[in-house]
Amino acid sequence: MGVFSAPKIDFGKSSELKKGSEKWNLLRDEVFKALEEYGCFEALLDGEIPKVKLYEKLKEVFNFNLEKIFGNTQSVLVGYDRYKPKAPLQERLVIPNVLNDGVIENFSKNLWPDGESEFSDLVLTYSKKLSEFDDLVKRMVFEKLGLEKYLDEHKKSGDYLLAMIKYRAPKAGETNVGIPPHTDNIISTILSQHDQDGLQILDKNGQWLDVQFSTPNSYVFLVSDCLKAFTNGRLNCLIHRVIIGNEERYSVGFPLIPKEGYIIKVPEELVDENHPLLYKPFDGSKLLPFYMAEGRRGVSATLEDFCGVSTNNPNLS
């Protein structure tokens, strides 16, 4: 098994970056090149993000009887689920709209009815810092593509979600696939992990390569389907999966989920003789239900199946 050499980009002291400066331009170009070619990069962020402490707290949280507290939902965007047929090693606890007022505190009360502030503080700080980083990446991408006038509208297109994930080690004879191969049917996501590697990407030659996080302050930024469509395919979107070794694995996903009714449409600036229109306008919130419905029929659907210009899908808007 090979190792994926994801571009490694240092965002240390990013708060001091000034738009238009030489450092900004160099970092912007590095970010865009990575997303254009690979669809992802490894970001080295500063130590202000309480990643280590959050993971320590997650181990405590996953010792609760979460199914009794939250139930076992069939939704992938809210609540708690575990050991589903396509992800039999996975437990997942999701906080939707994580940065909306009162959401984290209300969620925490389910776990600690008598009150507990550490978890709420860690989740809030972690989420705020990653949302600021996500905003920085989008500003750089939109500037590079000449789409700055669309940035404010894009910021209103989705809500952040925090997905806290635990994988148990597979038993003898069980699959070691934590999450099967897929692209993310959202806008973008930022992944972190604790202790155990496991994230893999499928390269152009059809080989699975390990993604290795080089430092404790590493995160992986991934382009997802909706951002690929919005950029008319200028940004890549990788097929990836998770493989579990002999020990339990913890990870945290911080995706941007498209809001219902928000229409994703390729800007006219990205369509010309060399770049024909690839995707029809679509409601981003309908992409995930489409994939799930196709999956129940045994079909592995793609973004092109949903909104490619050659498709005739009645559910685009």
**pLDDT value of residue 161:** 96
Q: What pLDDT does residue 214 have? A: 87
Q: What pLDDT score was predicted for residue 47?
A: 76
Q: Is residue 104 a contact partner of residue 117, using CB atoms and an 8 Å limit? A: no
Burial-class residue 104 by CB neighbours within 10 Å (0-12, 13-18, 19+). Answer: buried
CA–CA separation, 228 and 302 (whole Å): 12
- Mean per-residue pLDDT, 273-277: 94
pLDDT band (50, 70, 90) for residue 314: low
CB 208 within 8 A of CB 4: no
> Radius of gyration over alpha carbons of the chain, in Å?
19
User: Taking the model in full, what pTM does it have?
Assistant: 0.94
Lowest mean pLDDT among 95-99, 190-194, 215-219: 215-219
Q: What is the model's pLDDT at position 1?
A: 63
Tell me what the mean pLDDT of segment 150-177 comes to. 94
As a whole number of angstroms, the distance between CA 278 and CA 266 comes to 9
- pLDDT for position 317: 57
Mean of per-residue pLDDT scores for the chain = 92
Transcribe 111-169 into DSSP letters: H-TT--HHHHHHHHHHHHHHHHHHHHHHHHHHHHTT-GGGHHHHHTSEEE-EEEEEEPP
Q: What distances in angstroms separate CA 96 from CA 21, 76, 156, 264, one per listed residue?
A: 36, 10, 16, 21
pLDDT at 74: 67
- 285 close to 185: Cβ distance less than 8 angstroms: no
pLDDT in tens, 78-100: 789 999 888 999 999 999 999 99
Q: Please report which confidence band the pLDDT of residue 184 belongs to, taking 50, 70 and 90 as the band edges.
A: very high
Rounded to an integer, the average pLDDT of 227-251 is 95
Lowest average pLDDT, out of 33-37, 216-220, 233-237, goes to: 216-220
- 3-class secondary-structure state, position 271: coil
- Cα–chain-centroid distance for residue 303? 16
* Contact in structure between 116 and 106 (CB atoms under 8 Å): no
**Residue with more model confidence, 56 or 72:** 56
Across 216-237, average pLDDT: 95
pLDDT at 194: 87
Residue 316 has what pLDDT?
64
Residue range 123-134, pLDDT digits in tens: 999 999 999 999
- The mean per-residue pLDDT over the stretch 208-223 comes to 91
pLDDT tens, residue by residue, 48-62: 899 999 999 999 999
HSE-up of residue 81 (Cα within 13 Å, Cβ side): 14
Angle at which helices 117-144 and 103-111 pack, to 10 degrees?
140
pLDDT above 90 coverage of the chain, percent: 75
User: Residues 6 or more apart from 264 whose CB is under 8 A from it?
Assistant: 157, 226, 229, 230, 258, 279, 281, 282, 283, 284
User: What domains, with CATH codes, occur in the chain?
Assistant: 2-258 (2.60.120.330)
